[in-house]
Structure 1
């Protein structure tokens, strides 16, 4: 992590309020540069690294996979920092928030400084990945406006399931399982009768059947690791809960 064009560090003493022009332009902001390095899986030489780079940028799917690997590594570091610093307000990042995203290779300290031997800038905003399509079809701006105007409230299960998804995608299976347990309990309490729809009723019934297994997994994960079978069941239960939420958003809009 590096901060580019950072202003001088402020003094420890807080400055007194001072006048400001109403139409004054905003100050320039520093830029943080993060480099995710596959140091655990080095290449034998530049030829092998160049082959990887060509394959990683061959189409949108390979680009998304490479970028998501890098952002996951960065978010793992942020998560570790949040716990070590007992800071509950450290936010995870997404590729779409970046000013620029580059895939490349290099060696030694140069790559740690963001100096690639070869790199390609990739577009992570205009693509049509599955994640982006899912976000677009749910029309989040409309819901945000409705909530801010007081016409709608988020269900309590929604942030719980979002946290479960974030933990599961980041490989934090224990935390995901614990979040999912309370998330499933909440969605069953809040949304069982939310829609007059046969598919909704079937999914709610299926989720009710899965709840005991989710609860058992949550209890077990406190004393041991999840088995591959249990992890798969947790993932399926989360996907089912997410499907219930998506259907409600789409049919209720």
Structure 2
């Protein structure tokens, strides 16, 4: 599996061995490479130091190429079947391994500014088969590109315009962003990437904020049914937060988190719909 992103991911170029907790054998090897951008000095031409052209050229940026290599051996027939069946779900699984590397780098470097990768941000996603050294160098015996989210079809214009309406309202001071909205987004990102403990803690904070913020909005009276649904789920969400702190999330935690977060997201969408329709 190989991804390219339009920024430097954070971890230094090199090879990183990934093992499951407590395992002795590696599950994957992740190879990070920065694809260099042109140097800026030749772009300035003969202009003096500090001068800027009336229409400056875009600043060149580096991109990152990440290759995730399965450390487990596979015969040719198995590899061919995997390559033929690979889809967006395969890409999401690979991105989970990359997310583990970037999260570990954020913690080790104590740098919250390192962005966590998302499949929709990738320039390209590839799957391929080949020998270990071959794929580590970005070469394959056989490979293909996978479609990225949003590439299959364009959304209806009415759906595509809704975020633009909200954006205009937020920037124009006609709408107020809520803390629970940002917390719900963080919980969704972590839940989609299998980070259940983080998602549980963030969802508990999002619920607490939503149950205080939403009733106080001008749309609160029209959200009474959805708010009651959130109150009914609040106990389960609190329990998941406690279990996350103790490190003992049960096997059904992901399903419960998805259900509770889905209810919160529905309430937030309803609030936006009421607000934009006046």
Alignment partner of 1:30 is 2:54: no
- Aligned with 1:127 (options 137, 152, 161): 152
Higher strand proportion (structure 1 or 2): 2
Aligned to 2:81: 51
Q: Does the Cα contact within 8 Å between 1:174 and 1:221 map onto a contact in 2?
A: yes
| Change in 2 beyond 3 A, CA 1:212/1:138 | farther
Residues 29-75 of structure 1 deviation map (CA, whole Å, 9 limit, x = unaligned): 33221123333xx352233211111112xxxxxx2212222223222
Task: Compute the TM-score of the two structures, normalised by the length of structure 1.
Answer: 0.80
1:66-145 map, 5 Å: 66-124=90-148, 125-128=150-153, 136=159, 139-145=162-168
Determine the C-alpha separation between the residues in 2 that align with 1:74 and 1:66.
Answer: 13
Q: Deviation per CA, 1:217-245: give whole Å up to 9, x if none.
A: 21232123111234432332111111111
For 1:210 and 1:240, how far apart are their aligned partners in 2? 9
Aligned to 1:4: 35
Q: Structure 2 stretches of 5 or more lacking a match?
A: 1-31, 42-47
Provide the rounded CA distance (Å) in 1 between the counterparts of 2:161 and 2:241. Answer: 30
Q: Distance in 1 between matches of 2:83 and 2:244?
A: 38
CA RMSD of the aligned region, Å?
A: 2.8
Aligned-residue offset at 1:120: 0.9
Matched residue count = 234
Match of 1:177 in 2: 200
**Kept after mapping to 2: 8 A contact 1:76/1:170:** no
| Contact 1:138 1:246 survives alignment (8 Å) | no
Aligned equivalents of 1:54, 1:213: Cα separation in 2: 41
* Equivalent residue number for residue 246 of structure 1: 269
User: What is the CA–CA distance in structure 1 between the aligned matches of 2:135 and 2:261, rounded to whole Å?
Assistant: 38
Which deviates the most, 183-192 or 100-109?
Answer: 100-109
State the alpha-carbon separation in 1 of the partners of residues 162 and 143 from structure 2: 34
Per-residue deviation, 1:196:
5.0
Structure 1: runs of 5+ lacking an equivalent: 11-15, 57-62
Name 1:149's counterpart in structure 2.
172
Instruction: Return the alpha-carbon distance in structure 2 between the equivalents of residues 138 and 227 of structure 1.
Output: 40
Q: Which structure is higher in RCO with an 8 Å CA cutoff and minimum separation 6?
A: 2
**Equivalent residue number for residue 11 of structure 2:** none
Normalising by the residue count of structure 2, what TM-score does the alignment of the two structures yield? 0.74
Structure 1 equivalent of residue 19 of structure 2: none
Displaced runs of 4 or more, over 4 A: none
Please state whether the residue corresponding to 1:235 is helix, strand or coil: helix
SS of residue matched to 1:84: helix
